[in-house]
Chain A
């Protein structure tokens, strides 16, 4: 009985917060656009009993998914989102790893403070932090003013409203999600392994490459997924920092939903996005499980 309750809690959680909403979205994606409240048809009419339910299912079709294949906009947006998410994940790793490494190397009494400093930005609203980047990166912004003042450049750099600004925004926002798992992995590492490697003739660099990196692999993988998955569907950062030519699936989704008022097509876009996300999520799960088995 106790066991049953233990399993039931996460199961109900998954049902209520994932499966039921997903079923609703899936249902809308099979409907047609209509000028009514709500703006799609058919509506399930339970007062008609069986006939109503039958009529309801008869009207559902995959038309909207076919539509998505007819316009190259959609797959281009998916590919472009994948590309932006992938590049930003790599950049975040390149920035985050040295920070995590430095934190793990720091004296014990400093670590708690350093950890706090990594989490500190979360005390300010995410939206405000992205907005402040607009102030830093704009043509008349702090960065350009500083660079002009130092004489390094003579005309302001155009950074805001380009993909570069989107990368900066994503790397900045998701950096803690990369640092924390890598730090957790590095902190657990036994320092004597490095000494042993050096005793056996490794240079410090080779020891880092052959010992530290493999031992922090689980942290790197966890960090990469934690950055890649939300970055793929990101909407706020590209819409605030990106230019008009920044093509991401989050923006396409918004336009289908709000500009076209086409909830069925918007839902179809969302379902496909979810399917694309399931692949890395399953890989992530596998990795976690393998890790757990290795630890035991």
Chain B
């Protein structure tokens, strides 16, 4: 086996050498791919792959807007993608070089069109929902067997939040996800861009503010898994990861994920090519490689996120395709909403509101 590995590595090295200076630089979210795919890409195309990771849209956006990022493929989320397209950060895809586009799933691509009209600049990589993760044991112990673990009222109803504060509540530090959730709880349009409507969420957050341990976009994975907190409003894949970590640790903690029954936000991570990409040809080769049904399935099977590739579904393991938390039923899918980006003025109002909610100032 070891010998086999050595030969393989040598072959890859030789092939990379033969392809001379061809290399493609990909900038993706951390823990978001099966790394075996990276070696497979190099072996198949002979292009050297340089793979870097980031952990927030804001960091990616700052690099793109500063210009000269040096990346050939980047993976922003939908709302960020839309604004970056407007800023002129991406180039249109050459669809003649992407034969695997036929594998894509219209259920997803019809939704991503609102960020990227005609999907001219991007392809979908993964998508998911923003919902509620709970430590089932602790929450039912406090609120009883009929605790509303699939409802936004679990967190936004101050009576519930007050009781759950004892075991800990965390929320994403991402106003673009949390304010739509609060609007949904109020029965308002979650995609509202009206500062007056958005302002209605302030009292909702202020009422539960004393009961929230922290606003943070990644700490809740560990905190849920080891029992430091019992409720988190966060991203589907992250909470499922916490569920699996708790199961692996065998610490008696059972984590459950639910997209809120009132309606939950659906988000998309899109692959796109920066306008100043050094290797446009290689970038297309990478996108086409990722859209291959088996490759995309391998990525989803590894990270437990749904993808926008219909042809890949037959290669998905039952754990992924059969889990309604990852692939919601048709009915549940209709209950998901999407949002569009705020303009600079509304964004400033929202950030200011969010700071006020977090710090009381």
Contacts and interface: CB of A to CB of B under 8 A. Distances in A.
Contact of A37 (B58, B67, B348): B67
Contact of A259 (B58, B86, B228): B58
Interface stretch (A87-95, A209-217, A239-247, A279-287): A239-247
B168 A261 contact: no
B361 A72 contact: yes
B359 A244 contact: yes
Contacts of A37: 64-67, 87-89, 275
Nearest to A40: B65
B7 interface: no
Nearest to B348: A260
B347 A260 contact: yes
B226 interface: yes
Given A37-B88, A73-B361, A243-B214, A261 B344 contact: yes
Chain B interface, >50% SS class: helix
B334 interface: no
Contacts of A11: none
Contacts of A39: 65, 87
A127 B61 CA distance: 24
B218 to A, nearest CB: 11
Interface in B45-71: 56, 58-59, 61-62, 64-67
Interface residues of B, number: 37
A161 interface: yes
B214 A244 contact: yes
A128 B360 CA distance: 30
A63 interface: no
A73 B87 contact: no
A245 B359 contact: yes
A244 B212 contact: yes
Interface string B343-356: 01001100110110
A38 B66 contact: yes
Contact of A261 (B65, B67, B175): B65
Contacts of A246: 359
Interface string A240-257: 000111110000100101
Contacts of B361: 72-73, 76-77, 247
Given A37-B65, A252-B355, A261-B347, 18 more contacts: A36-B87, A37-B67, A138-B223, A138-B228, A139-B168, A243-B214, A244-B173, A244-B214, A244-B358, A244-B359, A245-B358, A257-B62, A259-B58, A260-B344, A261-B62, A261-B65, A262-B344, A262-B348
